[in-house]
Amino acid sequence: MLSQQSNSPRGDATVTSATRHGILARREARVFFGCVLLWNRQQVEELMRAHGYQRLDPQEVKARELAESWVQIHRQWKEAVYGVEEELLIEEARDIKKEARRRGLTERVNALLRERKFEGELLS
């Protein structure tokens, strides 16, 4: 096996050609699999578009996440044990409202909740 001395100040590090080839092989594999994943993603996007689906914009995704979180908090509230658990849920609900307001998504989240026929309190 060939080895090459490093020019490091310590002079104790050696790098074998097998090690160098192993590093290159891993980098090449990452690039290859990255391309495969990108190709698969493109194929999936094309198939979804062909069946009438479209990509959601990030704001819509966030609005849906907030609506789902709001529904979960409401469910947990019904089952909450008084005291500490209730206080944590109040804080989480406050955080959801604050984020929806900050992102300008309050109306969209409320619309999603109405679409689900959510019977609890809407965001205010």
Q: What are the residue boundaries of the structural domains of the chain, listed by start?
A: 3-50, 58-115
Give residue-wise pLDDT tens across range 25-67: 555 555 555 555 666 777 777 877 888 877 778 899 999 999 9
pTM: 0.55
Average pLDDT over residues 75-91: 80
What contacts 18, CB < 8 A, 6 or more positions away? Answer: 1
Higher-scoring residue by pLDDT: 124, 37: 124
Give residue-wise pLDDT tens across range 1-35: 444 444 444 444 454 554 555 555 555 555 555 55
CA distance 115 to 93: 20
